[in-house]
């Protein structure tokens, strides 16, 4: 087992990606929004994995910062989709809560690596 697979934030990001994938299959979005959401969601998970494999604290920290930035990007996309009435309040709240939780977990990891 790789170290990142043990991280709760990684497991949550994997679950989040699964939900985003289902959302994208079931909703017609313009190509740019679809691709950007898919990439940003995937980036959260991939940067957690890549960061865990780095040897220095600054290197690890950088990948976790990028991962957290991707979570913020997802929030902005879902905020836009909610304003455009493409996503309902309940789904928006579920995605938002998940992103907020991962963001807080990443923040703690980043702070510990200073």
pLDDT tens digits along 61-112: 999 999 999 999 999 999 999 999 999 999 999 999 999 999 999 999 999 9
Q: What is the pLDDT of residue 42?
A: 98
Q: Concatenated DSSP letters for 18-80?
A: HHHHHHHHHS---HHHHHHHHHHHHHHHHHHHHHHT-SSHHHHHHHHHHHHHHHHHHHHHHHH
pTM exceeds 0.75: yes
Q: What is the pLDDT of residue 86?
A: 97
* Domains in the chain: ranges and CATH: 7-21+30-112 (1.20.1440.60)
Encoding tokens for residue 13?
């990001």
CA separation for the pair 45, 11 (Å, rounded): 8
CA separation for the pair 29, 19 (Å, rounded): 15
Nearest to 7 by CA among 15, 62, 30, 55: 15
CA separation for the pair 69, 90 (Å, rounded): 24
pLDDT tens digits along 34-69: 999 999 999 999 999 999 999 999 999 999 999 999
């Amino acid at each position: 087992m790789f170290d990142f697979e043990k991280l709760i934030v990684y497991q949550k990001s994997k679950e989040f990606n699964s939900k985003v994938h289902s959302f994208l299959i079931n909703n017609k979005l313009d190509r740019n929004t679809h691709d950007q959401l898919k990439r940003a969601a995937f980036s959260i998970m991939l940067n957690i994995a890549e960061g865990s494999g780095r040897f220095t604290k600054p290197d690890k920290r950088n990948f976790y910062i990028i991962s957290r930035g991707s979570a913020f990007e997802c929030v902005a996309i879902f905020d836009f989709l909610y304003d455009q009435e493409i996503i309902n309040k309940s789904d928006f709240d579920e995605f938002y809560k998940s992103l907020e939780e991962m963001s807080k977990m990443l923040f703690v990891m980043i702070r510990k690596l200073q």
